[in-house]
Each structure stands twice: as structure tokens, then as C-alpha cells.
Chain A
Amino acid sequence: MTTFYINGQKVTANKNDTILSVARREGFYIPTLCYLTKVKPISSCRLCVVEVEGQNGFILSCQTPPVEGINVITDSQKLFTHRQNIMKMYDVNHPLECGVCDKSGNCDLQNKTLDFEVSSQEFSAKEQKRVIENWGFIKYDESLCILCERCVHVCNEVVGDNALKIGVGGYKSRIVRVEDSSCSECGECMAVCPVGALTTKDFQYKTNAWELQKIPATCAHCSSGCQIFYEVKHVGSCEKSDKKVYRVTNDVDINSLCGAGRFAYDFNNSSVKDKDKFEKAIEAFHVADTIVFNSYITNEEALILQRLKEKFGYKLINSSALKYQKFLQEFSKSAGSMLYNGTIEDIKSADFAIVLGSKISSDNPIVKYALNTAQKNRRAEICYLHPIQDEDIKQIVTQHIKYEVGSEEGVVALLLQLFLNQENLEDSLKSYIDELDIGYLSAESNIGEEELSKLKAKSIRKQNFVLVIGEDLITHKRAENIAKLIGLFQKYTQFKVIIIPTQTNTLGVSLICDLDEKKGNYSIGYNVKGNFTLSCFDGDLSMPSLNQQEGTFTTIDKRVVPTNVAISYNGYCLNDIANAIGLNKKYTIDYTIELPHEKGFIKKSFDELSNFYNLNGDDNRGYALENKVVNSIVAVESVEDIGEFNGTVVYRCESVNQFNYNTFVSKNLANDSFLIGSNQFAIAAKIGDGDEVEFSIGENLIKKVFKIDKKLKGTIAMNPSFDRLLSDDWVSSSYRYQKVTIKRVEG
């Protein structure tokens, strides 16, 4: 702790604080252009300089930690003149096109130019040719760029793609996109751009920033549940015309989004009330004994379904959530707490992280970002255990351990043996660990003992451990025992555990719904194929999309966060049906307060939930679930013999920025759903790039075009499923790896 003064007021600084961070916390304004809370100080704009009493010259406040006892002056005539001079420089040759610039009204350069009273230009410089480049969906206009370098920093420090660089060259300096980089088109660069240099093709020239209405919401695409704003406006000139989402923004200083969250906002459904169809739906509910659904629903909707079950005895089928539910339950039994104990923040501050059973770059980009932050800020060891090497995260991962498909249970046992501290164990557990046949497990999983000891060696002197568990384990046939073993990690090691919920609200559904194993005779499908289907796309009755509903999601962080209506929906919703057949709540959000308390939900009504981060980045979104203590019983089973998984294997894995039908329908994202494999795979399966192929998973025949990805290795191909608008329930719950025979479709 350092005590010092800002403008004479006594303040204190913690470790890693800078003069600027303390000033912001204490409410002193220091102007900045390049500073971004979530990355390291960039120090390119030089606006944040301050004076320190008794010392000559200006001190850069963004990167300088305070020294005991100094008095910092944040504003003076000298500083004003200096800052004004900098703004004069920034304005040299900046195109005077504010009238049409997308950033106008929302532009830091504009604001600071006005703040520092630069009303005329006294000097100029010879301009040179400045180009406009297209970086996929994003456009870079060099002439508007002030080279603050924020984009480069987020791409490197947050996203981990390292796709942008500064092309240095004095006055010719510019931002360069690195060729062959693993740019995931997340749009973070654009989001943090303080001027109009980076925009999207979709947004450019469509509206003025000040005409947009900001709707605070939660991203609907995955369980990270990021805080977003849907920015909406009428399409036409009259107020009664339809509204449209023009873009998604977020609190960029603190928060980051992936490409799906940022660009796939156009998935709303337009429909009007069709009484006939509604009547048919009610009839179907009377006939049905089963409701099939997925977890792209709110907590409130899940509770409605649960209430319907309680009242009318419907079987609730959601196999993906059921697998997660069982996994979590078995996990709890050995861990001793209802929920896992880790959060995204824990990943960010980890110095040793293991990711097991998840293709993290597409499964959950925010977890990938957090791992990258840990690597960059703390030089964390990031061990990625997966059968497929992921070239795109090479800059994040410090050790890739490849294991055989199917051997996940053995891998968990190996890790447990490696990290479990034998000293405080109960005898039964000790003998369980002692009896593990390491030689066999290592041989069958194909993980060398050397690799394991290397991993162990890296953990020496580390302090913050996290273990991230992915869907490969949850859908494994030995998932229940795997879950128990993972529970031991939480209970007996320093590891904090995170079990990634597979869909947006899988965690919420698995806590709220009492799910069934087997379907009955007649099913209502909710965004899943059923005998009678309710869907936000083309079902028997149209339903609102997730950006047309208010309600809450339960996120990976075990928080209940609110979302709001971006575009109003004129048709019927689930609550209308529930009310018609016998429940009685005026609004869906009337269920918020009734979410099951025994599962950790808090008695709070929807309107009591806030949705923001404060200036210091503290999370004020909704509330955190209470992680209840459960009795812990250690009852792990021995590891089952590991079967062979040879031949051509396909892996259910979405492409980057695609998650499901909601992202698939977005016109802003690439949505080709190819079967993607390595050269080696093509040879093994006797197929070539561009071939149309077919293969069966269970009873289902799947047709896809095959593409070779040169960065891939091995005989496992990626088989995306996001392109299925209305898929069967099993698609998202089967083991992600399937042995298949691939045939080329002739002609």
C-alpha cells in the first residue's frame, strides 16, 4: 500500500495500481485517448500526463505507479496547454468527414478536440496516400486512424489471435493485419477503436450513433452470458415502423465479446398473433405427454416448463442438459458443493490452467480469452488436453497433450494421480489412487509419462490453479465416474474447477428442471423437432427469439443475469400457452422471483436485477447463485477398460463464431457448415477437398461438403451442427466423437 496525494487529497494505491487507476477509482478526471482498462497501459496518446509537485516535467499517469508521499496535480494551465497541443497534432490531416462518419457523436477524438478547445488548425503536414482495407467483415480506414494501438493490444492481450501489428514507419505508421494469422473475426478491434477507423460493412453509413436506443441485455449465444447492448432504431422514418438491431455494443473498457455475440444480432423473429395456430398448439399440449426442448431458453421459461410438468405430468426431455445435470450432480457428491467453484475471473488470474475435453476456441471464446489473459498477464502455464491439436491457440497454450479419443476417463485418473496430494486423503481414496495402473492408462490414452512429469514440473511454485472441463467429458459414456473424479479435484487439490455449460442456459435448466430420460408418445418440441413444434423459425407455432424476450440466464460464472427485449414480438410466447392451459402469471418475468431457492437462486424479482459493471470493473450484473454445501461421499469407480477408437472419426464441433441456429441465421457471419479434416483424414477416408460426402450417425444420414484444412492433423474431422435449424434432441447430447464410414456422393 502506497499513500500519496492527488490534488492535495490523500489516496492509497494497491499493488499494480498506477496513478491513473487510483485517480479513476477516487473520481479524479485525467483525460485519456488510448487507455483501456482491460489491457496494459498503451501510452501512445500522452494525454494522461500529470504534474508531480517538486519534480520537473510531466509524468505519464497511465503507466507510472505512485511513489509514497507525492502530490499529483491532474490539471493546470500548463497541462491544459499541453493536452491542447496534442489534440492539435491529432487533428492534423484528420479528414473532416464527421458529417458522415459512423463514429460521430460517439468519437473520442471529436470529444477531446472540443474539450481542449481546438477550433482552428495552425499547422499542417503534407498528406500521403492512405488506403482503406477490408479485413473480412471489418473495414480499416487508415486516414481516420489515430494509431492509439488499442486494437493491437486487445487482439493480443484479450483475444489471443495476434492478428494485428503496428506497421512502424514514422508518419507512415499504420495498423497492419498479419497475413495467415488466426483472426477469428471477433470485432474486438473495432469495438475498442476510439475513432471511426474501424467499422463493419453492415453498420457503415446506416445511422447516426445518437439515434440508437441502447437496450442492456445478455448475449444469448453461449453460457458466458456476456453483457451487451442491443442498439436499435426504427427502420423507416416514422416512429411506428419496425425496429431493427443496428449493432451490438458493450462496455469495452472492461468487457469483451466474441464475433457471434457482436455480429449475430439479427436473429429476431417477426410474427403476428395467429389465433388458429395458437388453438392448435393448445390442442397439441392437451394431447402431448412430452416436451422436448434445448437450453437456448431463459430461466423463467425453464421454470414454466417445470411447472407444466408438475401440474400436468409432461416428461421434460433435454438430453444435453440432462447429461450436464447428471455430471454436475455426480460432481457435487464428491466435491461437496452443489456447483463447481471456479469463475472466469479465476481463469484470468490463474498461473496454471488445464483445459480438458473442450475445443475451447469455438466451444467458449470467453474462456479462451480468459486463458489468454492469464498467459499474457501472468505467464500462466496453459495445458490443453485434447485429441486434436488446435493451431489457432498455439500462442496461448504452453503444453498440448494429445490423448486417444475415448480415453477421457483414464486421462482424468492420470491427472488426479499427478495432482492429488496424497497426505490428507482418506485411506480408501489413497488406495484407489495407489491402485491406478499408470502404465496401462498412459499406454491406452497415449499420454507419455514424460509429458505428465513435464506438466507436473511446470506446476511447481504456481499458486492459482484452474481446471476447465468441456463437453467431451460430459457426453462421455463414463461421464458419471469422470464427474466424481473431477469432484475430487475440487475437494482435495488447489484447483478451482469450471465445468463449461454446453448451451447458453444449460446450467439454469439443469438446476430448474426435473428432466426425464425417455420420451413419451407425443411430444411438443420447443426449438427442437417434436410432433408439434414451437419455434422461433419455422415451427407449427412461431415463438419469439432470445433477443425478443425478457428474462434471465444462468451463466458459466454461476450468475443469474437479466436480458431485455431488443425487438418486440407480436406473436405468442410460452407464457401465453402456459396461461391458456392452466398456469397463471401475467408476464414471463413474474417467474424470476420464484426460481428454486434450494438450488441457490435468490428471491429477487426481475426488476431488482441490475446489469452493469462499475468504473472499476466490478460485476453488478444480476446476482451470483449461492453455492450450497452438499454431503460429500467419495465413491469413485475404477477406470473402465479403454476401448479402441480407430478409423475415421468425426467430432461435433462448431466453427468459430457459430454456436447454433441463432448464429446460423445471421447474415453477418460466415455460415458454411463443411466437414473439415486434415490431409491425412482425406486420404484415410478416400475423399478430396470439395467432395460432397455422406455418413451416418445413429440412424441419421448427414450430407456435407468436405474441406481440407492444412493446419489440421490426424484422422478426426470437424463436423459442425449449427446449421440444423430444427434438430433432433440427440444431436447435441451424443458423445462428440463418432466413428463413421464416409462415402462420396457421386455426381
Chain B
Amino acid sequence: MSKVVFSLWQNELIDNRDKSETECKESAFKFPVNFGDNATKAFIGWEGVAIFDKDIDVVKLSCEYAAQYQVYSEACGRCAPGRWGGRILYDLLDKIARGEGELSDIEHLKEVSQTMKETSKCEIGKSVPKPLLTLIEYFQNDFLDLIYNKKRSKYYDNSDVKYISKVTAPCMDACPAHVDIPAYIEGVKDLLLDDSLKATRKTMPLAHTCGRVCPHPCENECRRANVDEPISIMELKRIGADYEDSHGLNWFHPTTPKPKNGKKVCIIGAGPAGLTAAYYLALEGVHCDVYEELPVLGGEVAVGVPEYRMPIGKYNQDIELVRSLGVNFITNFRVKPDDMIKFEQDYDAVVVCTGTRLSKKVRCKNERTEIKGYWPAIPFLDQINLNIKYNLAEPVDLTGKTVVCVGGGFTSMDVVRCSIRANAKRVVMLYRRDEKTIIKNTSYEEYHEAIEEGVEFIFQSAIEEIFTDENDRLTKLRINMYEEQADPNGGRPQLVKVEGADFDLECDYLVPAVSQDADLSLLPKECEIDMTSWGTIKTDGTTYMTNKKGIFAAGDCEYGPMTIVNAVGQAKRAASCIVRYLESGEAKRNDDEIMEDSLRRLRVYNKKEKVSGWLKGLKREVSEKLDVESRKYSQEEVNFGFTQEQALYEASRCMRCYYIAMVAV
């Protein structure tokens, strides 16, 4: 809820201008009423406008909005209506604001707006006229006053009010790393694949990786879904990266790397978060030393995500990109509290990116880690991946064995599908909830591919007890079955045990893959770094600095076990704030980042919006997969990715839903 003077957003009109305090209504939208520490005077964007301060100069506001579109929008100038129309809008509004306007200018404004709305290339050109027309309609007197009396608008020459704008899009807003998705898709469509890759790398250095194994939350907020089906956003990401790779071209960086500035940052952990932090710090000229406990780089994506999903050769390209900026990696180095104390003194800042690498227990009777055959997911996948990708561990051979995995997330899927490839006789996945939920938690593809490969899923089940033989070797599991009962209060359905449905499951291995904890034994006690209630490092959640100045944390060790893209997003933000911290001693978000967070609060995607101007019924493209028989026995990448034809088609479905939002502070 937001207190407003006036607002028209989507279909909600609130007009409190002539109302007494008690009659005033609040808007249901979470507008950015504050901007950092300051109160916002007005907010204007693609769906309308919200005014929080009566004193706002609306003509100047509309003029500035047109100017922001015209001057700052990096996205446009690539279609006739946007290019010329935007300029004309601004010129006309400025003319009125200067006190030189005529009545006919309003008519021209409307006419140009109409053309822009109907035919601009991207949504930014289509949506900019909307709030302007709203202001002209609801604040008509303000405009007419200037025109009739030939006077300048109230604050035309006053520079106290700051106008801050940001270009966004529903998908960009939904992406934890805020990747400029329309730009990289446009690069594919235009076959300017270097541009595509540079657009991705503005906020996402792991283009190969997140072009393959991202759970793509962006696709849940893709506006194309309002027409037919969402764009296959993730798969289009790797096109640019593969181009760079296959031609052996020099690295395409989003900006020219700055020369070294003498600052030094220590990063602990070379997983997605550590790599991301290192990349963006190095781009800014900061020297980075990255300490990694494992003998290999890449963190969980290297030793957790299997080769058939994420070929290490491709991941190494992402890692080499980071290394190319002079980032120094130190492997086989487990950081201890003493080291931390030293790092704090030796470096200008420290970023902890150690992830969550302790498998949680399944919590059943007789669960002891020393049982032979009890093999938690993290060490299980470590061994498989260190063997297959690096030949640094003994191979895992499960011939003739039965493997039971308890899980329901991506890690458990990796466990069962790796077990199939390790030639297990039988592979069973136990999951507490139903099929629908497992698909929601992972992906449709992941679940169906596992079934095709022969994994058995037992839903709504849990282990009651583990049985072992005289050598403490696992023999069987007692399984309870559950059913879901709707929660009368509308919450998540309750799981209720089904009496008499218990059964025993003989097996050789039990692999718990039910989430992980962070191992934070590296933090010295005397540092007194605050923790969250779920055992991760506590930060302010916006700059990712801990309560200890100069110590930052990003990725799973901060958030808890989450996605790669989440780690990337946090680390990117942390890097940006660290650069400011190194300059000023204060970790602060910049205006753009404050806007980013404000817009996420408001939400850019509107599921109910009726979209026109796009032909309905163009099917989402699906890439070809390796056939089941070949993939069951090999580590070859399952997903072939899009062919060029498929990629071009899919890219042409993208509607470029850029929007521009602006606040007056």
C-alpha cells in the first residue's frame, strides 16, 4: 500500500487532490515512495504515474520523462516511431514548459503518441506516451495555464529536484542478476552475437553456465506468456557465448577493463558468486585473489552439476574469462579463522562466497554418517565429478547396486541421473510431496529426462528408519507413505501419514539430498559476524556487507542454498558496492541499484495485462535432446541447444518489453 496524492497505475485510479485526509485512499501498489533515504515526489512509468508530493511540477515531470526516454534510453533509436517520435514528444513538451506552447502542440503530442503506441519496435516506445497522456488528461489545467498565459512551468529553471530513471523489463526484473535479456535476444535476432554476449556479461559473467543450467525465473515473468508461451530465454543466452568460443575470438567484455587501481580484494570461494565478484571487481581495476578449498575452480557447478548438464569445457570458458582479467586463483587452500584475520588486514575488503556444502540429514531413525552406504549428496557428486571432469578421484561404479536418494531439488536430480550413468541396477527417488511440486522445484525437462532414463520416483514418501547389518552396512530402509490434506486455513497442504502403507526398500546406498547448510567455520569468533536464523551469514541484503565493515558475503553462504543466478546477482551487486566502498569507505547502492530494488518491490510483470500487436499462437521452440539410450551410458551433453534456425525464430518472438521508470526526488 502506498500513500499518494494522485495515481493511475494499471487500472487503479486514485485521486486525492481535493480530498480531506480522512477521505484519502491509498494505492494497492508498492510504489517507491522513498528513494534511499529521501522521500520521492513522484513516480512515473510504463503503466502510469503516481504523485506523492502536491508541489510537483507535472509539466516539467512529463518533459523530463520524455527527455529521459530520449537522452538516456540506451535501448532505442532503432525504429522510426521511437527515434523521431521520442524527439518530437520531448521538443513539444519542452516548448510548453518553456511557456512557448500552443494549443495545437497538444494535438500533435497526441498524434505522435498514437503512432508511437501502435508501432514502436519495443515496448519502451509504445509505453512512454501512456503516462504523458495521463498527465495531460488529469492535469489539463496545468498545461493549459502555461499555454494560455505563455508562462514557464513552476520549476522549469529549478534544479533542486533530481530525476532518476531506469530502463527495465519484466524478465530483467525477475532475473536475480537483472540480465539485460531483451538486448541479448536482440543480438541473436540480428546475428550480432558479440553484442548479444556483451549484453549478457553486463551483469552475468557465466553466460555458458546460465545458458544451460539456470532455472530461469525470468521465464515465469515473460510477457510473451500473455500472448501465447514464454520465450525460451535461457537457451538463447549460450548462443553468443558459443560464438565467441567456436571462433576463438578475443574475450568480449561489456566494458573496457580499467587499469589496476592498487586496491586488493580477497574472495573466498571460486564458485559462481566468487567468480562473479572477481570479474566485476577486476573489470573496475581491483586486484582479486580468490582462495578455493578444492583442487579445481568453479565450486558446486564444477563438482556438483554433472557433465551431461554442464560440460566442464564450457564452464571453464566462463572461468577463463574471469582469469583473463588477471584474477589470481589459489586452489587447495581451505581458509581458517587465522587466515581470515590476516586477510582482513592484508586486503581492502573480503568477500565470503563459500556456498553451502554440508548435506543436511534426512532425519530418520538410526541415521548416522558412519553407516557404510550412507553417502550424502555433496561428497557423492564431488567424487563423480572430480573423476569424470578432472580425473582427480576414483570412478564411481554402481554396477549391481540399488541407490535411494531423498530429495526433490536439482541436487537430488543430479544424484539419481548420475547413478544411472554409473550403471546402478535400480535408482529410486523418494520425495515427500507430489509430482507437480517436484516439477515446480526443478524443471519439466529435468524430471521427464530422469524418468526416461529409468529413475523410479516414489512420491509422498519418507524414510522412517535405516537398517544395517552386523558390519554396519546399509541393508534396507523403512518407508512411510503420506497423503496431502488441504489446510483449512488455505496454507500449504499438510502431510498426513497413511497407516499400514509402510514398506521396506532394500538398497546399497542412501544419498540424502535434502538441502545443505553453510560451513562457516572459517569465520573467527572474535569477528562477531551476525548470522541468520538459518545459519548463514547475515548482510544488509542490498549491498551485501556484513555487520563487520569491509567483510561482504554473497551467494548461498548468505542466502542459503539457492540458484546460480541468485549467487551471480548478489555477487554482482556486492562487487559494485565494494568498488564504492573502496573509494569512499562506505558501502552504498547507486541510484540505479536503488531503482532496481524499488522496481522489484513494485513488480514489473503484470500477468493480467492484455497484450496486442503480436500474432497469437507462435509456439515456443524446443531444442533437441540426446536420445535416451545414448545418454544413459555417456556423459555427453543431453541438450543440443538451439540450431541457428531455432534460435532466430525464438528470438523473433521476443517482444522487447523494455520500460522506462523515473522518480522525482
Mark A residues whose CB is within 8 Å of B: 16, 40-46, 49, 52, 55-59, 63-68, 70, 82, 85-86, 88-90, 92-93, 122-126, 146-147, 149, 152-153, 156-157, 162, 165-166, 168-173, 376-379, 381, 394-395, 397-398, 461
Residues of B within 8 A of A44 (CB): 78-80, 121
Q: Report the separation of the CA atoms of residues A283 and B616 in the bound assembly, to the nearest whole angstrom.
A: 79
Which chain A residue lies CB-closest to B109? Answer: A123
- Say yes or no: is B191 at the interface (Cβ < 8 Å to chain A): yes
Q: Among B84, B616, B643, point to the contact of A125 (Cβ < 8 A).
A: B84
Which residue of A68, A89, A126, A146 contacts B115 across the interface (Cβ within 8 Å)? A89
Is B112 interfacial (CB 8 A cutoff)? yes
Contacts of A156 in B (CB 8 A): 190-192
A550 to B623, CA, bound (A): 52
| B81 with A147: CB separation less than 8 A | no
- Given A40-B191, A46-B80, A70-B615, also A379-B91 (CB < 8 A): no
Chain B interface residue count, CB cutoff 8 Å, equals 54
Is the CB–CB distance between B644 and A169 below 8 Å? no
Chain A residues near B75: list those with CB within 8 A. Answer: 168
Nearest B residue to A87 via CB reads: B80
Is the pair B247, A172 in contact by a Cβ cutoff of 8 Å?
no
Tell me whether B400 is interfacial, beta carbon within 8 Å. no
Some 7 contacts from A to B, beta carbons below 8 A apart, are: A40-B190, A122-B108, A170-B70, A170-B86, A173-B77, A378-B643, A394-B248
Separation of A561 and B247 alpha carbons in the complex (Å): 36
Contact B247 A64 (CB under 8 A): no
Residue among B70, B84, B111 with max Cβ neighbours from chain A (10 Å): B84
B478 within 8 A of A: no
Q: Is B649 interfacial (CB 8 A cutoff)?
A: yes
In the complex, which of the residues B77, B111, B614, B649 contacts A59, with contact meaning CB atoms closer than 8 Å?
B614
Question: Are A378 and B645 in touch, CB under 8 angstroms?
Answer: yes
CB <8 Å contact, B615 and A52? yes
Given contacts A52-B615, A82-B115, contact A170 B249 (CB under 8 A): no
Chain A residues, CB < 8 A from B112: 123
Q: Are A377 and B119 in contact (CB under 8 A)?
A: no
> Contact: B119 with A49, CB < 8 Å?
yes
**Can you name the residue of chain A whose Cβ is closest to the Cβ of B192?**
A156
B190 contacts A64, C-beta separation under 8 Å: no
Determine which of A16, A40, A394, A398 lies in contact with B189 in the assembled complex, contact meaning CB atoms within 8 Å.
Answer: A40
Question: Does chain A have a CB within 8 A of B505?
Answer: no
Quick check: A57 and B80 within 8 Å, CB to CB? Answer: no
Establish whether residues A126 and B249, one from each chain, have CB atoms under 8 Å apart when the complex forms. no
A89→B84 contact, CB < 8 A = yes
B404 at interface, CB cutoff 8 A: no
Residues of A within 8 A of B84 (CB): 89-90, 92-93, 125, 171
In the complex, the answer to whether A67 meets B616 with C-beta atoms within 8 Å is yes
List of 10 A-B pairs having minimum Cβ-Cβ separation, nearest first: A173-B77, A57-B613, A57-B612, A56-B612, A379-B644, A89-B84, A85-B115, A67-B617, A125-B87, A171-B87
Assess the A89–B85 pair: CB atoms within 8 A. yes
Min CB distance B228 to A, Å, is 9
* Contact in complex: A125, B91 (CB < 8 Å): yes
CB of B197, distance to nearest CB on chain A (Å): 13
CA of A57 to CA of B73, assembled, Å: 25
B108 lies within 8 A of A147 (CB): no
> Which residues of B, 72-104, contact A by the 8 Å Cβ criterion?
73-88, 91-92
B92 partner residues in chain A, CB cutoff 8 A:
123
Q: Nearest Cβ distance between residue B242 and chain A, in whole angstroms?
A: 8
- Known contacts A46-B119, A57-B612, A156-B191, A377 near B644 by CB under 8 Å: yes
Contacts known (A123-B108, A168-B78, A461-B640); A65 close to B649, Cβ less than 8 A: yes
Q: Contact mask B160-198 → A, CB, 8 Å, 1/0?
A: 000000000000000000000000000001111010000
A sample of 7 more A-B contacts (CB under 8 A), given A46-B121, A125-B87, A170-B82, is A40-B648, A46-B79, A86-B119, A89-B88, A90-B80, A149-B78, A168-B76
Nearest-CB residue, chain A, relative to B242:
A379
CB–CB B190/A153 < 8 A: yes
Q: Which residues of B contact A88 (CB under 8 A)?
A: 115
Residue from the list B246, B613, B617 in contact with A58, Cβ < 8 A:
B613
| Shortest distance between the CB of B619 and any CB in chain A (Å) | 9
B594-638 interface with A by 8 A CB criterion: 610, 612-618
Nearest CB of chain A from residue B424's CB, rounded to whole Å: 28
Most B Cβ at <10 Å: residue of A63, A93, A170 = A170
CA of A86 to CA of B82, assembled, Å:
10
Query: B445 an interface residue at 8 Å Cβ cutoff?
Result: no
B54-71 CB contact bits vs A (8 Å, 1 = yes)?
Answer: 000000000000000111
A162 → chain B closest CB, angstroms: 8
Contact at A82–B119, with CB atoms within 8 Å? yes
CB distance from B614 to the nearest CB of A (A): 7
The answer, yes or no, to whether B118 is at the interface (CB within 8 Å) is yes
Q: Considering the chains assembled together, what is the distance between the CA atoms of A93 and B640 in angstroms?
A: 49
How far is A123 from B109 in the complex, measured between Cα atoms in Å? 9
Partner of A398, one of B74, B88, B108, B247: B247
Q: Are A395 and B247 in contact (CB under 8 A)?
A: yes
Chain A residues closer than 8 Å to B246, beta-carbon distance? 381, 398
Of listed B73, B194, B614, residue having the most chain A CB within 10 A? B614
Bound form: Cα–Cα A381–B91 in Å? 50
Of all chain B residues, the one with the shortest Cβ separation from A49 is B119
Are the CB atoms of A92 and B191 closer together than 8 Å? no
Tell which of B69, B78, B617 has the most Cβ of chain A within 10 Å.
B78
Are A168 and B77 also in contact (CB < 8 A) when A63-B652, A90-B84 are?
Answer: yes
Q: Looking at the assembled complex, report how far the CB atom of A311 sits from the nearest CB atom of chain B, in whole angstroms.
A: 56
Q: Least Cβ distance of B125 to chain A in Å?
A: 10
B618 in contact with A43 (CB, 8 Å): no
Minimum distance in angstroms from A66 CB to a CB of chain B: 8
CB distance A43 to B91 under 8 Å?
Answer: no
CB distance from A37 to the nearest CB of B (A): 16
Q: For residues 108 through 156 of chain B, which have their beta carbon under 8 Å from a beta carbon of chain A?
A: 108, 111-112, 114-115, 118-121
Whether the pair B119, A123 counts as a contact (CB closer than 8 A) is: no
Tell me the minimal C-beta distance from B627 to chain A in angstroms. 12
With the chains together, A336 CA to B88 CA distance in Å? 68
Q: Do residues B69 and A170 form an inter-chain contact, with CB atoms below 8 A?
A: yes
Are the CB atoms of B191 and A173 closer together than 8 Å?
no
Q: Tell me, rounded to whole Å, the shortest Cβ–Cβ distance linking A400 to chain B.
A: 8
A64 touches B613 (CB 8 A): no
CB atoms of B83 and A173 under 8 A apart: yes
Indicate which residue in B70, B77, B80, B91 contacts A89 across the interface (CB closer than 8 Å). B80
Query: For the complex, what is the distance from the CA of A90 to the CA of B108, rounded to whole Å?
Result: 16
Closest to A400 in B: B248
C-alpha spacing A603/B169, complex, angstroms: 64
- The verdict on A92 contacting B121 (CB below 8 Å), with A147-B83, A170-B76 known, is no
Given contacts A169-B77, A170-B70, A395-B247, contact A65 B612 (CB under 8 A): no
For the complex, give the distance between the alpha carbons of A297 and B71 in Å: 58
Taking A44-B80, A125-B88 as contacts, is the C-beta distance between A170 and B71 under 8 angstroms?
Answer: yes
| Chain B residue at smallest Cβ distance from A146 | B80
Bound-complex Cα distance A172 to B649 (A): 30
- Please report the C-alpha to C-alpha distance between residue A568 and residue B119 in the assembled complex, in whole angstroms: 51
Q: Determine which of A70, A89, A149, A378 lies in contact with B644 in the assembled complex, contact meaning CB atoms within 8 Å.
A: A378
The distance in angstroms between the C-alpha atoms of A170 and B248, with both chains bound, is 33
Chain B contacts with A in 231-281, Cβ cutoff 8 A: 246-249
Which residues from B are CB-within-8-Å of A376? Answer: 191, 644
Contact B190 A89 (CB under 8 A): no
Return chain A residues, CB-CB under 8 Å to B644.
Answer: 376-379
Known: A59-B613, A67-B615. A395 touches B115 (CB 8 A): no
Which chain B residues border A162 with CB–CB below 8 Å? 194
**Chain A neighbourhood of B77, CB < 8 A:** 147, 168-173
Inter-chain CA distance A170–B71, complex, in Å, is 6
By CB atoms of chain B within 10 A, which of A86, A166, A397 has the most? A86
Once bound together, how far apart are the Cα atoms of A143 and B618, in whole Å?
Answer: 39
Q: A16-B645, A123-B108 are in contact. Are A170 and B189 (CB under 8 A)?
A: no
In the complex formed, the residue of A with least CB distance to B75 is: A168
Question: From B194, which residue of chain A is reached at the shortest CB distance?
Answer: A162
A524–chain B nearest beta-carbon distance, Å: 50
